[in-house]
Structure 1
Amino acid sequence: MTIVVQDLALGGNGLSVMIKDTLDIAGHPTCAASAALADAPAALAHAQVVKDVLAANCRIIGKTSLHELAFGTTGINQWAGTALNPLYPARIPGGSSSGSAAAVAAGLADFSIGTDTGGSVRIPAACCGVWGLKPTFGRVSRQGVMPAVSSLDCVGPFAADSERLIAAMQAIDPSFKALPAVAHLNIGVVPVQAHPEVQAAVDAALQGSGFALHEQPLPGMAAAYDAGLVVINRETWNACGHLLATGKVGADIAGRLQAAADTSDAALATAEQVRQAFTAQVDAALARFPILAMPTMPDYPLLLSEAADTRAVIGMTAFVRPFNLSGHPALTLPLIGASGLPVGLQLIAAKGADELLCAVARELSRRLAR
């Protein structure tokens, strides 16, 4: 069970950090946990986020494993090894940023960095019982991040608590401002179909928060979920399709990549229309309520024994991928369900309102701890 794929010692004497192996660190190869990239040359320069982390006096102590080529939700990796879910070892660590979530859950780093194209920060954070944030699309630099071109992917942090998550954002986003006060706030609760225990944990947390709650449907979520996969498939094929010729891509990922090659221009054009419509719908909801809330995942994390086929379990991203399509910032904070298993509470804010999102999540967590 692999969490760290490479030990490092870079930077100052501040907070310790681990970096997903899709971000360039000068002098080290970026392999994305794939045998197809095992012989990749060393990166010539740091990714911008790595530069920012080092400028914040943080210590980079390792690169973390992931679902191969960041193209999966479970974190299972037959070549590089599957990261152990430290708090729930029989369960999947989630993907694709599995090692980054597991490193924080295991206490190996103060915070870690992952990427989120269709839930790849929020899903592993929810599975491993930690905090995870997908910032507003474009707010955190993707320079030096694999894939080089993406209309969905966001660099985001994991941490064991809100304070370190905020410190992580301050490190990776030089524009991150002081958090606003949030004593009184209206939250729009998005109705979804989730496991009764998952929904009960989320409902109890929201009701215990003291914030005013109002139902706010998002009827375009299902279409946005489907459209998001169309975009992911086309953009992942563009970035990684050439690796199939090596014969070294894992069978599960190779099958998904080959299927992605068939994504038509017409399907992509339809997906872009859905993107516009759903983005407008979310913007309208956030004009009514500054924060939206729902479960991060529809069910508890799968047992490892149930999660071998990525295509069969991709529905676990039903509540997260739509907000990659729309580009809104989204955060998951950890809860515990009645069965003692991890549940994520997802909060969404307006584009650019990442500070408000963090402030509400921190305040909600503080109120629940009283």
Structure 2
Amino acid sequence: MEDTVNAFVDVFTIEGGSGPLSGLTFGAKDLYDVEGHVTGCGNPDWARTHPAATAHCPVVATLLAAGATLMGKTHTDELAYSLMGANAHYGTPTNSADPRRMPGGSSSGSVAAVAAGLVDIGLGSDTGGSVRLPASFCGVWGLRTTHGAVPLEGAMPMAPSFDTVGWFTRDLATMARTTAAMGLAGEGPLPPRLLLPVDLWAQAMPATVDAVAPTLAALEAAVGPAVPVVVAEEGIDTWFDAFRIAQAAEVWETHGAWVSAVKPNFGPGIADRFAMASAIGSDERAAALAMREKVRARAAALLADGAVVVLPTSPGPAPFRDADEPTLNAFRNRALRMLCLAGHAGLPQLSVPAGVVEGGPVGLSLVGPRHGEGSLLSLAATL
């Protein structure tokens, strides 16, 4: 395989067995252990200070056992702490849907490999949006699974109470096959109703709303008109602040000792986020976690009957590759306001390719109750 889009940090082949994914290929984000290879996590200092893995992590082993062939390890933003896809050490993978634009991260290499047709499945991870946002940016399917539904042993933790496994495909059929092979439901009952969170839609550009409207209309034709709701009764800024603080405090708890000891060379944005994380106090973290519990209770109440929330995945198409750091951070923060519902509540979210704005793809997302992956896939199949 020729890596034409800088998707891979290491290209090699490990043949899969015989199973439901036979004939398919995948790339694994470079925070998943692959036996005999160093898990570099997007940073040379991390790679330098960690030994090669002695075994495949469970999710890689599961895909191999299901018959898929591993084609290599894909780039990630440094320690997965970004959403844009730029890496100061290894470069930015190409967004094949619109090469002028960022591919999204932190699962940047996996989405780039799928969008370019180099592999059928891109194994990623999603803590704050690292599968959902790249899927929207590159015009592919992306699934964030229910928190805790797929094991994360043998993967670099970021913020474990938020971390989830996810993957990209170019079509729904492959998405459903992969989901079933991972031990989750590949189909399920259609939801009884759709919910349209007006406060989250308000974060999207008007052009994005227009672009995804036909896909929303098609879903409504299958299930019925979406019911407008306000999901963040405390205000979406309050939800965003709680997510940012709770995640960052956990990131520092996970990696602070290594960062303090090694003093790694981080790229722009990454260093700032780790500095912010190091300064979060216990009272601030406790308040954020208390708000997270309120968000979880609100989500459970809204989705108790199996309802599905539908919203644009992203405020708009991906930022341009030459955007400066303040522009990228502003977009990232706006996107997190839309993404933090599933992050806080540990919910599955499927990003569906749904339109184009100024030459760049945008996605429409389906957010379901915990362990509702099958329902999301069946709803998407009505399209």
- Same fold flag (TM > 0.5): yes
- Looking at structure 2, the residues matched to 135 and 189 of structure 1 have their Cα atoms a distance apart, in angstroms, of 21
Match of 1:207 in 2: 217
- Looking at structure 2, the residues matched to 339 and 255 of structure 1 have their Cα atoms a distance apart, in angstroms, of 31
- Looking at structure 2, the residues matched to 22 and 360 of structure 1 have their Cα atoms a distance apart, in angstroms, of 31
Match of 1:313 in 2: 331
Match of 1:224 in 2: 239
Match of 2:150 in 1: 140
Query: Which residue identity lines up with residue 361 of structure 2 in the other structure?
Result: P
Contact 2:186 2:377 in 1 (8 A): no
284-293 or 118-127, larger mean C-alpha shift: 284-293
Q: Deviations over 1:107-141 (max 9, x none)?
A: 01111110000000001111111111111100011
Contact 1:117 1:154 in 2 (8 A): yes
What SS does the aligned partner of 2:13 have? strand
TM-superposed CA distance for 1:247, in Å, is 3.9
Q: Deviations over 1:2-61 (max 9, x none)?
A: 211111211325310110001111110000110212323101111110111111011011
- Which structure 2 residues correspond to residues 1-370 of structure 1 after superposition, within 5 A? 2-12=6-16, 13-39=22-48, 40-147=50-157, 150-171=160-181, 173-174=182-183, 176-177=184-185, 179-182=187-190, 185-191=192-198, 192-193=201-202, 194-209=204-219, 210=221, 211-212=223-224, 213-220=226-233, 221-241=236-256, 242-252=258-268, 253-287=270-304, 290-309=307-326, 311-315=329-333, 316-363=335-382, 365=383
Task: Show structure 1 runs of 5+ residues with no match.
Answer: 366-370
What SS does the aligned partner of 1:304 have? coil
- Looking at structure 1, the residues matched to 357 and 90 of structure 2 have their Cα atoms a distance apart, in angstroms, of 34
- Looking at structure 2, the residues matched to 236 and 60 of structure 1 have their Cα atoms a distance apart, in angstroms, of 29
Runs of 4+ residues deviating >6 angstroms: none
Query: Which residue identity lines up with residue 179 of structure 1 in the other structure?
Result: E
- Looking at structure 2, the residues matched to 279 and 200 of structure 1 have their Cα atoms a distance apart, in angstroms, of 30
- Looking at structure 2, the residues matched to 102 and 251 of structure 1 have their Cα atoms a distance apart, in angstroms, of 21
Provide the identity percentage.
32
What SS does the aligned partner of 1:61 have? strand
Query: Which residue identity lines up with residue 216 of structure 1 in the other structure?
Result: V
CA RMSD after TM alignment = 1.8
May I ask how many residue pairs the two structures share in their alignment?
A: 361
TM-score by length of 2: 0.89
TM-superposed CA distance for 1:180, in Å, is 2.5
TM-superposed CA distance for 1:338, in Å, is 4.9
What SS does the aligned partner of 2:304 have? helix
TM-score by length of 1: 0.92
- Looking at structure 2, the residues matched to 222 and 288 of structure 1 have their Cα atoms a distance apart, in angstroms, of 27
- Looking at structure 2, the residues matched to 117 and 77 of structure 1 have their Cα atoms a distance apart, in angstroms, of 18
Contact 1:25 1:46 in 2 (8 A): yes
Q: Deviations over 1:68-122 (max 9, x none)?
A: 1100111111101111111111111111111111111000111111000000000
TM-superposed CA distance for 1:222, in Å, is 3.3
- Looking at structure 1, the residues matched to 175 and 7 of structure 2 have their Cα atoms a distance apart, in angstroms, of 20
Query: Which residue identity lines up with residue 32 of structure 1 in the other structure?
Result: C
> Per the alignment, do residues 313 and 331 of structure 1 end up closer, same or farther by CA in structure 2, a change over 3 Å counting?
same
> Per the alignment, do residues 149 and 324 of structure 1 end up closer, same or farther by CA in structure 2, a change over 3 Å counting?
closer
TM-superposed CA distance for 1:349, in Å, is 0.5
Task: Show structure 2 runs of 5+ residues with no match.
Answer: 17-21
Contact 1:243 1:249 in 2 (8 A): no
TM-superposed CA distance for 1:254, in Å, is 1.9
TM-superposed CA distance for 1:307, in Å, is 4.4
Contact 1:297 1:318 in 2 (8 A): no
Query: Which residue identity lines up with residue 91 of structure 1 in the other structure?
Result: R
129-138 or 195-204, larger mean C-alpha shift: 195-204
- Looking at structure 1, the residues matched to 96 and 117 of structure 2 have their Cα atoms a distance apart, in angstroms, of 9
- Looking at structure 1, the residues matched to 321 and 359 of structure 2 have their Cα atoms a distance apart, in angstroms, of 17
